[in-house]
Amino acid sequence: MESEVSNWNDDRLDELNRRVDEGFVRVDERSVRLEGEMKGSFAKVDREMKEGFAELRGEMGQLGQRFDRLLNTLVLIAWGLAGTLVAALAAVLVAAWT
């Protein structure tokens, strides 16, 4: 009687082993397929990012030139205001001493 149970268990274990092996084969096939899809998707994302950064660099270059011009203008205004304040202070001092 024990041998029948032993054979039954061995047969069931062999069947389970076969099913597990088949499951791993399916998982391997799916992982290979998904790896291919992921590589394609990552390549697409990389390409889109490079294009986007190139476009952004172009826009930032133009924007940087605008900021440079704005900075130059603000520096000129600051020097003009400083000169005006110095001239006004000189005028006040001259008026106070005369």
The chain-wide mean pLDDT, for the chain, equals 86
Is residue 30 packed enough to be buried (19+ CB in 10 Å), middle (13-18) or exposed (0-12)? exposed
More confident residue, 87 or 55: 87
User: Token pair 């597990």 is at which residue?
Assistant: 20
Number of separate helices (H) and strands (E) present in the chain: 1, 0
CA gap 82, 86 in Å, rounded: 6
What pLDDT, on the 0 to 100 scale, is given for residue 1? 46
